[in-house]
Structure 1
Amino acid sequence: MRCHSDHTCFIRRRSDGRCIMLLVYVDDIIITGDDVLGIAQAKLHLQKSFDVKDLGPLQYFLRIEVARSRRGISLSQRKYVLDLLQDTSMLGCQPASIPMDPNLKLSVELRELLPDPSVYQRLVGRLIYLTNTMPDLTFVVSVISQFMHAPRLAHMDAVYHILSYLKSCPGLGLFYASGNQSGLSCFIDADYAGCKTDRCSTTGFCTFYGNHLISWKSKKQAVVFRSSAEAEYRAMAQGTCELLWLQSILGELGFVQKGSSKLFCDNKSAIMLASDSVLHERSKHIEVDIHFIREKVRSGIINPIFVPSSEQTADVFTKSVGPSLL
């Protein structure tokens, strides 16, 4: 049966509760589950219909390295990083402690244009793929991606600084500890009017299943807001959509969510908008988002919770931070 939440995922569940999960990406397939006999039968069935090759236990998939131990599973792209550093002649560079200087503000007219923008575009494209296992690169890569059409020397310097940071931690990735996990939570944040070019805010969020980080995002908002509360509330709407999607796919995979999902926000005004029945003059143009979140709060699907800015995990997805916060 194909999942409704993710059309690349297929599930076969037996009457005794055992299941097989099959994930497809173009011509690459991952098969997993607790039905060992069923997995062997699925492989034989695929071999009858397609020319396939069994590569054994998952170790390398789409340039993502998978390592297992009794403690859990780790995901990294060490070989991909080293190849990138070698191709750019940055293996011998001086390592950097952070991906981007917090005081650096890039703009569309900073210094002269690059003579060949294709070099910049290829490098940024390779860095985008690294965000699959390195969430700390998500914000800085989203920033440099905004200048793909007309990159300048300052933008290329920022890319080289990211490569210097990769030199210091080529094997950095994600670790998922063994043991039971439960409960969805999402940290959301917005960098109010952070873009110096158009004064748009940046939305950042990261979601956890138990203690495991499972999704993250950094994206500039399309509308300029007049208050930080409205920018944070728009970020809350995007975090709510992510939680709804994750609840749906986890339910199809057999992980039933009990209780409300927690939505952590460091703006008390935005949290009040989620529960207050009064609409204010300055919030009318986000009225759809207001009613959307309030409906989910009333139905018990999400529970907005205030978190101090010092404990805001999503901060790293809205601005460049120092090494102590990475």
Structure 2
Amino acid sequence: MENCKPVSTPIATKTAKSGIASVEFSNPQLYRQLVGSLQYLTLTRPEISYAVNKACQHMHQPSNQNFEDLKCILRYIQGSLNIGLPLYRDYLNLTSYVDADWAGDQTDSKSTTGYCNFLGNTVISWCVKKQATIARSSTEAEYRALASAGTDIIWTRQLLQEL
């Protein structure tokens, strides 16, 4: 993928997938190794967290379409090697942003939680995770997202107080 054509986003914004399942990928071990490596990369590249999360959902039985989606992430990384997390020396206010995608997964109707925490203008933690149960409303999905972010905020505050 060193000489691949870079793309501007790690995941397609609209998918034109039909109801017919794609052919099973011939080398599932390669798929798992690539996805595992990308999971580590999300520590310093939070913008790929959602795309990697979607790729992780197919680790047991990846299809050719899943591998194409994985290659899209790799093409994005190839084109954005100079992007990183800036660290700022400024005020120390803890701020958090939370969102939930209500019933965003079309296969099981589960919602996706996402949040990021900032210390001043610097991102210090983030999470993108599919919710464990199906939410009955967008309010319920948002409440679960807030609860998840809240636990991380409490832990972060305690850590900052210790430091």
TM-score range, shorter chain: over 0.9
Q: What TM-score, normalized to structure 2?
A: 0.95
Distance 2:58 2:19 in 1: 7
2:118 paired with 1:118 = no
C-alpha displacement of 1:109: 6.5
Q: Deviations over 1:265-284 (max 9, x none)?
A: xxxxxxxxxxxxxxxxxxxx
Distance 1:142 1:107 in 2: 21
Q: Deviations over 1:81-131 (max 9, x none)?
A: xxxxxxxxx111111011011112779973010122001000101111110
Q: Note the residue ranges of structure 1 that are not aligned, 5 or more in a row.
A: 1-89, 254-326
Greater relative contact order, per chain length (Cα 8 Å cut-off, separation 6+): 2
Within 5 A, what are the aligned runs for 1:77-156? 90-104=1-15, 110-156=21-67
Amino acid at match of 2:62: P
In the other structure, the counterpart of 1:250 is: 160
User: In 2 relative to 1, CA 206–139 (structure 1 residues): closer, same or farther, beyond 3 Å?
Assistant: same
User: In 2 relative to 1, CA 108–159 (structure 1 residues): closer, same or farther, beyond 3 Å?
Assistant: farther
User: In 2 relative to 1, CA 123–106 (structure 1 residues): closer, same or farther, beyond 3 Å?
Assistant: farther
1:210 alignment partner, one of 99, 103, 120: 120
Amino acid at match of 1:96: V
- What percentage of aligned pairs have identical amino acids? 39
Q: Deviations over 1:181-222 (max 9, x none)?
A: 211111000001000110000000000111111000100001
In the other structure, the counterpart of 1:233 is: 143
Distance 1:182 1:105 in 2: 44
Distance 1:214 1:155 in 2: 30
Which one has the largest radius of gyration? 1
The CA RMSD over aligned residues, in Å, is 1.6
C-alpha displacement of 1:232: 0.3
User: In 2 relative to 1, CA 106–191 (structure 1 residues): closer, same or farther, beyond 3 Å?
Assistant: farther
Higher strand share: 1
In the other structure, the counterpart of 1:27 is: none
2:77 paired with 1:174 = no
Whether the 8 Å CA contact 1:204–1:218 is kept in 2: the answer is yes
Distance 2:161 2:18 in 1: 44
Within 5 A, what are the aligned runs for 1:1-326? 90-104=1-15, 110-178=21-89, 180-253=90-163
Q: What TM-score, normalized to structure 1?
A: 0.48
Distance 1:117 1:166 in 2: 21
Q: Deviations over 1:164-194 (max 9, x none)?
A: 111111121111123x321111100000100
Distance 1:109 1:241 in 2: 40
